[in-house]
């Protein structure tokens, strides 16, 4: 069964929400999604991949055609749907909404936030995920001093999500150097799953 979904003209996270709804309702083995922004292309591709689909992307005249094909491994799918046992380690999510800490002196604020990111490893295994939105996405792009720090955190097992709408707004999507491009649905879901959320 193949389903086609036209999400052109829809702003994030609407394309991902529509794809999720179709997958839950129809459970297609193959799905084709039409989108017309880079952010939607990345967000839908990531979502389908996380749902165990193999994704191909065609760059057409003014839009993208994404085709998600089920891997055909029913056992893997069934296993993924089973509830998993959580460890006793708490999950802390840090929402980074700016590229500096506090107000007053921007140079001081930028230095403070960089030092904050460098010190996050001291949280140990409780540090689960960093989410970058609004001006915070500038910390994850080419030329940012924070990029090596963030790459080090990902190598230690910390998940990093970077808002696609925000990257698009600042015209930085192609300059992202670290983390997964994400959408508001993933961000809201992450906040629900986390044991605690810290806002910066």
User: Could you read off the pLDDT of 153-182 as tens digits, one per residue?
Assistant: 999 999 999 998 899 999 999 999 999 988
pLDDT in tens, 114-140: 999 999 999 999 999 999 999 999 999
Q: Are 137 and 166 in contact (CB under 8 A)?
A: yes
Average pLDDT of the residues of the chain? 87
Radius of gyration for the chain, computed over Cα atoms and rounded to the nearest angstrom: 18
92-199: CATH, from 3.40.1370.10, 3.40.1260.10, 3.40.220.10, 1.10.1200.10? 3.40.1260.10
84 CB-near residues (< 8 Å, 6+ apart) = none
Between 183 and 76, whose confidence is greater?
Answer: 183
| Domain boundaries along the sequence of the chain | 2-81, 92-199
Q: Quick one: CA dihedral 190, 192, 194, 198, positive or negative?
A: positive
Which class would CATH give 2-81?
alpha beta
């Amino acid at each position: 069964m193949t389903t086609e979904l036209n999400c052109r003209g829809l702003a994030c996270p609407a394309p991902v929400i529509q794809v999720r709804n179709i997958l839950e309702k129809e459970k297609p083995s193959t799905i084709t999604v039409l989108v017309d922004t880079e952010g939607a292309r990345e967000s839908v591709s990531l979502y389908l991949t996380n749902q165990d689909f193999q994704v191909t992307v065609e760059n057409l005249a003014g839009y993208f055609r994404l085709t998600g094909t089920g891997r055909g491994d029913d056992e893997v799918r069934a296993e993924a749907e089973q509830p998993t046992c959580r460890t006793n380690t708490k999950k802390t999510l840090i929402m980074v909404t700016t590229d500096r800490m506090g107000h007053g002196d921007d140079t001081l604020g930028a230095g403070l936030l960089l030092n904050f990111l460098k010190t996050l490893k001291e949280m140990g295994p409780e540090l689960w995920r960093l989410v970058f939105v609004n001006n915070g996405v500038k910390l994850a792009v080419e030329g940012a001093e924070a990029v090596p720090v963030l790459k080090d955190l990902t190598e230690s097992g910390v998940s990093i999500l970077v808002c696609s709408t925000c990257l698009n707004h600042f015209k930085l999507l192609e300059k992202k150097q670290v983390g997964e491009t994400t959408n508001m649905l993933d961000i809201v879901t992450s906040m629900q799953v986390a044991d605690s959320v810290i806002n910066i």
